[in-house]
Amino acid sequence: DRLGRMKTFCDVLESAQALSHDEQAELVNVLRRQMAEERREELTKAIAEARGQFAAGRARPASPAAILKRILR
């Protein structure tokens, strides 16, 4: 639930504030690397899904201009 997540978030924030400046900087670096890796995994899955759809004939190649035109209609 949201209240539980907020409490956990506040607990984590308090713990992070108790770290030294160098430890906080390293924590930020670790979190950024983890977030980047998660995003890469999401993109890898999306690309695989799109390729599967294309191979199955459920998607067609389109130029960026054509995609924007369809979005902006």
- pLDDT of 52-63, one tens digit each? 999 999 988 889
> What is the pTM assigned to this prediction?
0.69
CB atoms within 10 A of CB 59: 13
> Do the beta carbons of residue 50 and residue 59 sit within 8 Å?
yes
Label each residue of 29-42 as H, E or C.
HHHHHHHHHHHHHH
Per-residue model confidence as pLDDT tens digits over 6-24: 889 999 999 999 999 999 9
Q: What percent of the chain has pLDDT over 70?
A: 100
Six-digit token string for 17: 């504030």
